[in-house]
Amino acid sequence: MKPELIIERLTCQIDGTVILRDLDLTVRGGEVHAIMGPNGTGKSTLAAALMGNPRYTVTAGSVTLDGADLLVRTVDERARAGLFLAMQYPSEVSGVTNADFLRTAINARRPEDQPLGLFPFRRRLKEAVAALEMNENLPDRYLNEGFSGGERKRNEILQMLLLEPRIAILDEIDSGLDIDALRVVGANLTRMVAERGEEMGLLLITHYRRLLDHIRPDFVHVLMDGRIVRSGDMELADRLERDGYDWLREELGLRHLSDSHCEADT
Amino acid sequence: MILIDETRRTLGLAVWPAVALSGKERSWLEPLDPPAAPVSRPQLCGAAAPDPAELSRFRALETEAKHRAPARPLPCCGRVRATRLRLAAEAGRRFLPVFISGERGDGTLLYLDVAPGASAHVVLLTLASEAPIYIDVTVGENAHLQLDIIKCPGHDSWQLLSWRATVERFASLVHNSVDLDSSAYQVGQVILAGEGAELTSRAAALIQSFEEQRLDVTVTHGAAHSRSLVENHGVVQERGHGFFAVRGRMPQAAVAGDCRQESRFLMLSPQAEAHSYPVLEIDQYDVAAGHAASVGGIEPETLYYLQSRGLGEQDAQRLVTTGFLSPAIHAIGAGSEGGALIADCLFAGLAERI
């Protein structure tokens, strides 16, 4: 079944500060959406709220995945329902090898009596590690411990390849990647989108157009002031790259962040 | 002996010879199943019964003095039977399990001599024994010894153990200690006596409710260019009590020495209690030294990250806890083929307990 993530009038806050206001967005299988926007406008908050990060509180609105209410579900239930978030700052887990973690995560999505065998798992892992041009010793390293910024981001993509989500959200996956790494990640994302077709929808959160050179979005949205203020296609991304956000602020009558309370990148 | 044979089979160690020691007997145990290749027999013999002066070289648990509680030395009022095990240099690395059991009051003293140039992996498994155990290790020049001290899972009893080791020139000692279910008092003293001598010591302590594990390690850098790393990790459940004390001593002889230590506790309950005492005594300018200590719970961000990949809260906690204790167990597995089998059993035992 083609997945469908529907966000309606989502309002979300952290520590009493409202970050998202009445945000609407729909992502369907086979679609690639890109969300762009200045710092501190709520891009990462959207990703965290969808995944169920306990630091964020949804105060209004609804989110459904395939018609089922996502907001009443726990973080792990959302993940098992097919949502995946490639995080901006993945946690380190000492003593847990990448391989053990990934196998546990894959088996958490399968019926208890049908776990993925060790050899099929190792084969899939080896293929994915090779495709991402990662170090061969990565499966036996502790999860994200001692990883460079680029290795962490590739590791997030590795997890996505193996977990095969229905809706994947990539939060600034391009930050910390050098040119070659960006090319490899982009190629893998493009291949995954092509191979899975309508089985997966993709939501890219990014500051820069360069990622979109590698994986072309069907829709480009601008998030400002906690809501999506403009949607378009690659031409919109081109203009943002060329002209920045000031023209849009003027058109919409929004204040510049430096004129108001300036938040950290939320 | 039946109990030891059962344990050997449970751990997958049937093809290796072993040694069984207690306050009453010492035995060389032939392989239960025929080994793929003949195994040479190390020298195992009796030694003179130690006098009180000899036993006083082993440290008591000084750490309790920090709580102004009376010092509680290892009980050594009963009979102590001494055994000497000599490991000669030979081709390849020798793997030797040593099982220690016995009744309260009957102590065991093992002299473990590793000849210059030899390489060995000795796994000391304590069964249901509340008798005091003393281990006196000498690692000869250019020799390598991995000494793992494991409280055999499923054999509930106190482990009362004091060990001391002298590491000679360019020799190395790797020590791993694992206890997943019983209370333990374990004190160690390591003297890096020769130039370039090295120690790596790791501990994994799963401390269950109403149990107490106290580990105390003192490393003295008695020669130049010696290196030590001590990493103790403990997980404390419910009303468990953990205690790590590590002292790094760098006298003037420790020129260009490197002394590191880390003691960390993961607390799984507000009722759990843990104490960590990192100490460095430095009397030489030309050294590198560092210590780290922490007592805390599982980071909420870590749980969130693992749950975001589909793991339930309990599975995520279990994974973090297992990972926290895994460095010592992984190191046992890396020591030899037999060590890998023991490590598998320890991980299985860990999974049952958390």
User: Does the CB of A104 have a partner CB in chain B at under 8 Å?
Assistant: yes
With a cut of 70, say whether residue A260 has pLDDT above it. Answer: no
Closest CB to B304 among A53, A84, A143: A53
Candidates B308, B315, B323; nearest CB to A85: B308
Q: In this prediction, what percent of chain B has a pLDDT beyond 90?
A: 66
Q: For chain B, give percent helix, strand, coil, nearest 5.
A: 20, 45, 35
Name the CA dihedral angle for B305, B308, B313, B318, rounded to a multiple of 10 degrees: -50
Residue of B nearest to A82 (CA): B310
Domains of chain A, residue spans: 4-259
Residue B144 pLDDT level (bands cut at 50, 70, 90): very high
Q: Quickly state the pLDDT bin for A24 (edges 50, 70, 90).
A: very high
Q: What percent of chain B has pLDDT over 70?
A: 93
Instruction: Give B68's pLDDT tier (boundaries 50, 70, 90).
Output: very low
Per-residue confidence (pLDDT) for residue A138, from 0 to 100:
86
Task: Write out the two tokens for B153.
Answer: 């899972």
Alpha carbon distances (Å) from B28 to A9, A33, A259, B98: 76, 70, 82, 9
Give the span between the Cα atoms of A152 and B274, in whole angstroms.
Answer: 33
Which CATH number applies to A4-259? 3.40.50.300
A75 and B301 in contact by Cβ < 8 A?
A: no
> Considering CB atoms only, which of B300, B309, B311 is closest to A159?
B309
Note the pLDDT tens digit of each residue in A223-256: 998 999 999 999 999 999 899 999 998 888 876 6
- Rounded to whole angstroms, how far apart are CA atoms A66 and B139? 65
123-152 in chain B: CB under 8 A from chain A: none
DSSP 8-state secondary structure symbol assigned to residue A92: P
For B10-59, the pLDDT digits (tens) are 999 999 999 998 777 788 999 998 877 777 788 888 888 787 777 777 76
Contact between residue B333 and residue B339 where contact means Cβ atoms under 8 Å apart: yes
Range in A12-16, B19-23, B49-53, B133-137 with the lowest mean pLDDT:
B49-53
| Residue B104 in this model has a pLDDT that exceeds 70 | no
Contact between chains at A93 and B302 (C-beta distance less than 8 A): yes
Neighboring chain A residues of B309 at a CB cutoff of 8 Å = 79, 84, 101, 105, 108, 159, 163
pLDDT for res B105: 63
CB-based contact (8 Å) between B200 and chain A?
no
pLDDT at B51: 77
Interchain contact B323–A (C-beta under 8 A): yes
How far apart (Å, rounded) are the C-alpha atoms in residues A249 and A234?
Answer: 19
Beta strands in B34-93 (DSSP E): 43-46, 80-87
Phi, psi of B321 (to 5 degrees): -65, -45
Show Cβ contacts of residue B251 under 8 Å, excluding neighbours closer than 6 positions: B220, B221, B222, B283, B284
Contacts of B299 in chain A (CB under 8 A): 91
Tell me the DSSP string of B79-144: -EEEEEEEE---SS-EEEEEEEEE-TT-EEEEEEEE-TT-EEEEEEEEEEE-S-EEEEEEE-TT-E
Tokens 């070289």, located at residue: B57
Which residue intervals of chain A are DSSP H helices?
A: 43-51, 75-80, 98-108, 118-131, 149-163, 179-196, 210-214, 234-243, 246-252
Q: How far apart are CA B227 and CA B221, in angstroms?
A: 8
Q: What is the pLDDT of residue B4?
A: 87
Instruction: Check B308 against A79: CB less than 8 A apart.
Output: yes
- In chain B, residues with a C-beta closer than 8 Å to the C-beta of A145 are none
Task: Please give the Cα distance from B124 to B104 (Å, whole number).
Answer: 18
In sequence order, which residues have a C-beta less than 8 Å from that of residue B245 and are 6 or more positions away? B63, B66, B214, B215, B216, B217, B276, B277, B279
Are the beta carbons of B139 and B169 closer than 8 angstroms?
no
Kindly give the pairing relationship between strand B144-151 and strand B80-87.
unpaired
Nearby residues of B150 by Cβ (< 8 Å), 6 or more positions away: B123, B124, B125, B126, B177, B178, B179, B332, B342, B346
Mean pLDDT calculated for residue range B176-200: 94
Q: What does each C-alpha distance from A9 to A25, A40, B258 come to in angstroms?
A: 9, 19, 59
- Minimum mean pLDDT among A137-141, B161-165, B286-290: which range? A137-141
* Mean pLDDT computed over every residue of chain B: 89
Chain B within 8 Å of A68 (Cβ-Cβ)?
Answer: no
Q: Return the amino acid letter for B223.
A: A
Report the b/e string of B248-272 with b at 16+ CB within 10 A: bbbeebbbebbbbbbbbbbbbeeeb
CB pair distance less than 8 Å for B312 and A87: no
Q: How far apart are the first and last CA of chain B?
A: 30
Instruction: Return the higher-pLDDT residue of B60 and B187.
Output: B187
Q: Does residue A123 contact residue A206 with C-beta atoms inside 8 Å?
A: no
Q: What are phi and psi of A25, to 5 degrees?
A: -165, 140
Mutant choice from A55, A70, A89, A104 vs B, greatest count of B C-beta within 10 A: A104
- Which residues have a Cβ under 8 Å from the Cβ of A191 and sit 6 or more positions away? A131
- Name residue, tokens 């009397």: B283
Beta bridge partners of B192: B167, B221
Q: Kindly tell me if the per-residue pLDDT of B155 is higher than 90.
A: no
pLDDT tens-digit profile of B275-299? 999 999 999 999 999 999 999 999 9
3-state class (DSSP) for residue A53: coil
For every residue of A125-166, DSSP letters joined together read: HHHHHHHTT--TTGGGSEETTT--HHHHHHHHHHHHHHH--S
**Residue tagged 């072309």 (tokens):** A216
Query: What are the two backbone dihedrals, phi and then psi, of residue A43, each rounded to the nearest 5 degrees?
Result: -65, -50
Q: Which of A28-32, A76-80, B99-103, B256-260 is the least confident region?
A: B99-103
Mutant choice from A96, A103, A163, A164 vs B, greatest count of B C-beta within 10 A: A96
Cβ(A135)–Cβ(A167) below 8 Å: no
Give me the residue label for tokens 């019926």.
A111
- pLDDT at residue B72, as a whole number: 53
Distances (CA, A) of A52 to A62, A184, A240, B197: 13, 29, 30, 52
Q: What is the pTM of this model?
A: 0.85
> Which whole number is the average pLDDT over A171-189?
86
3-state SS assignment for residue A107:
helix
Q: Does the distance separating the beta carbons of B304 and A76 come in below 8 Å? A: no
Identify the H or E element spanning B234: strand B227-236
Cross-chain CB nearest to A104 (options B299, B300, B315): B315
Residue A257: the pLDDT is: 55
Domain extent listing, chain B: 2-299
Instruction: List beta partners, residue A220.
Output: A34, A232
Q: Which residue did the predictor score with more confidence, A193 or B221?
A: B221
Q: B327 — phi, psi (to 5°)?
A: -55, -45
- Sequence-distant (≥ 6) Cβ neighbours of residue B263 within 8 angstroms: B230, B232, B244, B246, B276, B277, B278, B291, B292, B293, B294
Mean of pLDDT over chain A? 90
Sign of the Cα pseudo-torsion (A75, A76, A79, A85, in order): positive
Helix (H/G/I), strand (E/B), else coil: B306: helix
At residue B66 the predicted structure's pLDDT band, cuts being 50, 70 and 90, is very low
Q: Quick check: A76 and B316 CB within 8 A?
A: yes
Contact B23, B102 (CB under 8 A): yes
C-alpha–C-alpha distance, residues B266 and A126, integer Å: 33
Which residues, 6+ apart, have CB-to-CB distance to A212 below 8 Å? Answer: A34, A204, A206, A220, A234, A237
- Interface A–B counts its CB contacts (< 8 A) at 77
Q: What is the mean pLDDT of residues A7-26?
A: 94
CA distances from B183 to B21, B133, B237 (A): 21, 14, 13
